[in-house]
């Protein structure tokens, strides 16, 4: 965790045994993204994915008990096969940014950046998350959630890894292109 102008950053690194091109597609194509994004135990439905700077990924997370939470990414920067930067927030069904349904102290928007690199068929993803234009109280609350966020993103990355493994098993000759 690193201090920055917005306070401390959550930094997570995960390696997956999959080619970079396939991993990037998993982050950028609707048919892939909906298979793994979000908390474990939630089903994701995608209202919209416009994968370009200024574009939006608007999605609904539905728990097994039927509880729903909407969320969205607003993409800030995309460098194919290298980096994706987005602002993440909760939203309503229409796509308007709203406060988290479980706490008013979670920053309204969180800046996320994922950096990709590959070495010998193993792709490394480094995710950096920090509050965006947050109050001091929101930044402090965000920092207090690091353990919970590490577990949450850990589960999400587990789902990504499971998706990539299943995808490669279905397409054993896949190089990630297509």
**Does position 127 have pLDDT exceeding 50, yes or no?**
yes
Distance of CA 5 to the CA centre of its chain: 22
**CA angle, 6 then 7 then 12, to 5°:** 100
Report the mean per-residue pLDDT for the chain: 92
User: pLDDT-based confidence at 113, cuts 50/70/90?
Assistant: very high
Decide: residue 81, CB within 10 A, 0-12 exposed, 13-18 middle, 19+ buried: middle
The pLDDT tens digits for 14-63 are 999 999 999 999 999 999 999 999 998 899 999 999 999 999 999 999 99
Can you tell me the mean pLDDT for 101-115?
96
Q: Which parts of the chain fold into alpha helices (H)? A: 20-28, 30-36, 136-144, 146-170
For residues 160, 164, 170, 172, the Cα torsion angle rounded to the nearest 10 degrees is: 180
- Cα gap 79→140, rounded to integer Å: 31
Looking at the domain that runs over 2-170, which CATH code has it been given?
3.30.530.20
Can you tell me the mean pLDDT for 92-120?
97
**pTM > 0.75:** yes
Q: Across 40-49, 62-71, 78-87, 167-176, which has the greatest mean pLDDT?
A: 78-87
Q: Which of 10-19, 35-44, 124-133, 169-178 has the lowest mean pLDDT?
A: 169-178
pLDDT at 4: 39
Rg (CA), the chain: 16
C-alpha distances out from residue 7 to 2, 114, 145, Å: 8, 18, 13
In DSSP notation, 132-153 reads ES--HHHHHHHHHTHHHHHHHH
Tell me if 138 sits within 8 A of 19, measured CB to CB. no
**Which residue's structure tokens are 């896949």?**
174
pLDDT at 50: 98
pLDDT at 172: 60
Kindly state the tokens that stand for 98: 């709203």
């Amino acid at each position: 965790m690193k201090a920055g102008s917005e306070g401390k950053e959550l930094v997570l690194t995960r390696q997956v045994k999959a080619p970079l091109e396939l991993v990037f597609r998993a982050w950028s194509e609707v048919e892939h993204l909906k298979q793994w994004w979000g908390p474990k135990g939630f089903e994701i439905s995608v209202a919209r994915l416009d994968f370009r700077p200024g574009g939006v990924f608007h999605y609904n997370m539905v728990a097994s008990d039927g509880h729903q939470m909407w969320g969205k990414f607003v993409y800030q920067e995309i460098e194919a096969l290298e980096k994706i930067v987005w602002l993440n927030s909760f939203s309503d069904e229409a796509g308007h940014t709203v406060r988290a349904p479980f706490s008013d102290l979670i920053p309204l928007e969180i800046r996320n950046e994922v950096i990709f690199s590959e070495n010998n068929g193993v792709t490394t993803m480094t995710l950096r998350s920090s509050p965006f234009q947050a109050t001091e109280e929101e930044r402090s609350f965000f920092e207090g959630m690091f353990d919970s966020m590490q577990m949450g993103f850990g589960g999400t990355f587990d789902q990504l890894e499971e998706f990539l493994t299943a995808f490669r098993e279905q397409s054993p000759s896949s190089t990630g292109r297509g």
